[in-house]
């Protein structure tokens, strides 16, 4: 990637395109489907119409399915959806037409956009500041009122097909028989996980999100592209899902490890919208401006990646169905050549033997010499961690040291290489039990959820 060229593009596009406008949104309800569409435009030259479609299910709460009940949440989904389109040219103004935003709200959204695009700015060498990277203009005088919803004390669990959400759904399976799973843009790993857990389609809320092809065409033409805060979009979409299904609680599966920056010494974090900082800001915002009838929290926030894996391996029925590899997501495979596959292989290695890990991936990833650079990134010897959803540097090093202690035969190439690094000397005498018994008090779990989590991590 030519970073200097992209910074030149950034400045060129900001001169060429002055305004990005959030024009409107539409909501349609039929007996079979709920459909939401958004209308954005870039300087009246490029027009975007992303959509959400949700198949109607019997569990949907009829009183909550009307536009007057949902318009506040739907408007706010548009506020986070628009950032994927704004970033193509990064104009200096975002104009909001459907409803008004006060100054506090504008500042909140600026902060979310700026932090959520931290990776985008970093990888494109874009030098900009929170104060002046964009101005949000609210043209409407129509104020939204907080929404009152009918909700019951059961849980909506978003799942993505990986180990983390699998742990959450397993630990909460007995909380309430009416718990539901939320799947945004379902792929095989998601549905297989749900079916393995015993959920049929009548306990799955499916949301299909479609990106406007105009944006994809612009990416091919050389407009700016990069990471956006997907989990922030999921947060707002999950409010919508909880509203239409009548669920009081939304139990995310973001752990304490997500708080660590991707670039040490900076606020650049690939997982910003999975961090406690975002969770706190999001809760404060939606409780003040959207609704008080939903409780959004991350069930796994008090614990780390190592503790999650220790819980995950207690349910081997998921070994053949879970997938966390972005490169292989379309084909429901582990690519076995990316930092994410490497990380998952490392974090599993203290808990299950090499034969089982090979069966999961179909390859001995830790034997791959071509993965030495992402390996150095994961253990903290490179300038940055991989721009992936991975654990902390401490967790990776602790896993490798424990794997070495457990080894009884030939060690894989990358593990042998690790023994030659200064990190091995630094970590080898540290006790992994410190991480396995850690508990982060910065969370939003109600006592009843704390009790469930503590019971399981102490077993």
Residues with Cβ within 8 Å of residue 425, at least 6 apart in sequence:
none
The tens digit of pLDDT for each residue in 232-260 reads 999 999 999 999 999 999 999 999 999 99
User: How large is the average pLDDT for residues 432-439?
Assistant: 95
Please check the confidence at residue 417 and state whether its pLDDT lies above 50. yes
pLDDT at 206 over 70: yes
Rounded to the nearest 10°, the torsion over CA 207, 212, 218, 219 is: 10
Rounded to an integer, what distance in angstroms lies between the CA atom of residue 60 and that of residue 449? 25
pLDDT value for 260: 97
Torsion angle of alpha carbons 123, 304, 81, 387, nearest 10°? 20
Provide the pLDDT for residue 2. 53
Scanning 188-229, the segments in alpha helix (DSSP H) are 188-196, 213-220
Cβ atoms of residues 167 and 300 within 8 Å = yes
Proportion of the chain above pLDDT 90, given as a percent: 95
CB 8: neighbour CB atoms within 10 A?
12
Choose among 274, 277, 280, 282: nearest CA to 258: 274
DSSP structural state of residue 147: B
Band (4; pLDDT cuts 50, 70, 90): low
Helices then strands, counting H and E runs in the chain, come out as: 19, 11
Residue 213 binned pLDDT confidence (cut-offs 50, 70, 90): very high
Average pLDDT in the 133-153 region? 95
Residues 107 and 102: their CA atoms lie apart, in Å, by: 9
DSSP 298: E
List all residues 6 or more positions away from 306 whose beta carbon is below 8 Å from its beta carbon: 347, 350, 391, 395, 398, 399, 432, 435, 436
The pLDDT of residue 405 is 93
Model pLDDT for residues 102-141, shown as the tens digit of each residue = 999 999 999 999 999 999 999 999 999 999 999 999 999 9
Give the predicted TM-score (pTM) of the model. 0.96
CA nearest neighbour of 186 among 25, 55, 291, 63: 55
Q: Tell me: the pLDDT tens digits for 68-78? A: 999 999 999 99
Average pLDDT in the 53-59 region?
A: 96
- The β-bridge partners of 373 are none
Whether the predicted pLDDT of 88 surpasses 60: yes
DSSP 339: H
Q: Convert the pLDDT of each residue in 14-31 to its tens digit.
A: 999 999 999 999 999 999
pLDDT of residue 406: 87
- 99 DSSP assignment: S
pLDDT of amino acid 3: 58
């Amino acid at each position: 990637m030519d970073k200097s060229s992209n910074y030149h593009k950034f400045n060129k596009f900001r001169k060429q395109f002055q305004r990005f406008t959030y024009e409107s949104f539409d909501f349609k309800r039929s007996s079979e489907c709920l459909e939401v569409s958004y209308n954005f435009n870039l300087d009246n030259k490029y027009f975007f119409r992303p959509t959400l479609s949700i198949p109607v299910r019997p569990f949907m709460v009829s009183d909550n399915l009307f536009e007057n009940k949902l318009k506040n949440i739907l408007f706010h989904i548009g506020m986070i959806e628009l950032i994927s389109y704004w970033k193509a040219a990064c104009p200096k103004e975002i104009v909001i037409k459907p409803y008004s935003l006060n100054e506090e709200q504008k500042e909140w959204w600026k902060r979310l956009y700026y932090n959520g695009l931290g990776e985008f700015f970093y990888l494109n060498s874009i030098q900009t500041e929170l104060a002046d990277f964009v101005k949000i203009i609210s043209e409407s005088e129509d104020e939204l009122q907080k929404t009152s919803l009918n909700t019951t004390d059961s849980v909506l669990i978003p799942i993505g097909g990986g180990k983390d959400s699998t742990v959450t759904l397993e630990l909460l399976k007995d909380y309430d028989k009416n718990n539901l799973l939320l799947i945004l843009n379902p792929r095989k790993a998601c549905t297989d996980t749900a079916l393995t857990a015993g959920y049929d389609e009548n306990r799955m809320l499916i949301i299909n999100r479609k990106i406007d092809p105009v944006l994809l065409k612009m990416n091919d033409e050389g407009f700016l592209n990069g990471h956006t805060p997907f989990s922030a979009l999921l947060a707002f979409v999950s409010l919508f899902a909880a509203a239409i299904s009548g669920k009081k609680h939304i139990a995310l599966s973001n752990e304490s490890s997500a708080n660590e920056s991707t670039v040490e010494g900076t606020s650049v974090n690939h997982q910003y919208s999975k961090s406690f900082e975002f969770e706190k800001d999001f809760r404060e915002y939606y409780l003040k401006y959207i609704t008080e009838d939903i409780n959004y929290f991350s069930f796994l926030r008090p614990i780390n990646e190592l503790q999650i894996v220790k819980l995950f391996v207690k349910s081997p029925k998921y070994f053949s169905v879970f997938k966390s590899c972005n490169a292989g997501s379309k084909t429901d495979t582990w690519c076995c050549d990316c930092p994410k596959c490497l990380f998952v292989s490392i974090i599993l290695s203290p808990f299950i033997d090499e034969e089982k890990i090979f069966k999961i991936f179909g390859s001995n990833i830790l034997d791959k010499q071509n993965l030495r650079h992402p390996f150095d990134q994961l253990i903290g010897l490179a300038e940055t961690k991989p721009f992936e959803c991975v654990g902390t540097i401490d967790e990776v090093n602790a896993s490798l040291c424990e794997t070495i202690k457990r080894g009884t035969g030939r060690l894989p190439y990358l593990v042998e290489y690790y023994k030659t690094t200064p990190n091995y000397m630094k970590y080898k005498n540290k006790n992994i039990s410190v991480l396995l018994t850690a508990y982060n008090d910065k969370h939003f779990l109600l006592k009843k959820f704390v009790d469930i989590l503590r019971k399981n991590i102490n077993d």
